[in-house]
Amino acid sequence: MKCKEVAVFKFKEDCLDGAIELNKDLMTEMQNASNNSLLEFEVYQSPKDPTIFTWLIDWTDAKSAKETTDKWMSFPSNQKFSSSIEQDIFYDFLEKR
């Protein structure tokens, strides 16, 4: 069953330069490592608070998604991305019902 990964997080204000590119780089690295299970992704930035970002990621299924996200620490952009995060607000895999 297809699933969607939803993540909402707050970037540190002094890390906003290049933040959109960093988000997209990390998503692309995940997609390349996903064995075609990461179907597509979108990165959103709040117009009211530009430090707030949301990921919407379409996966073939939750099991494949978890297999890829379990490799999170090995992605080249992860260290820079993780050090740019001030707060994780929401993260979950959701299945359409």
The H or E element containing residue 11 is strand 3-11
**17-71 pLDDT, tens per residue?**
999 999 999 999 999 999 999 999 999 999 999 999 999 999 999 999 999 999 9
Distance between CA 63 and CA 32 in Å, rounded? 17
Q: Is residue 38 within 8 Å of 57, Cβ to Cβ?
A: yes
Q: Look at residue 97 in the predicted model and tell me its pLDDT.
A: 80
**72-97 pLDDT, tens per residue?**
889 999 999 999 999 999 999 998 88
Predicted confidence band of residue 1 (pLDDT cuts 50, 70, 90):
confident
Q: Look at residue 22 in the predicted model and tell me its pLDDT.
A: 96
* Short-list 24, 33, 96, CA closest to 61: 96
The H or E element containing residue 25 is helix 19-32
Alpha carbon 66 to chain centroid, angstroms: 13
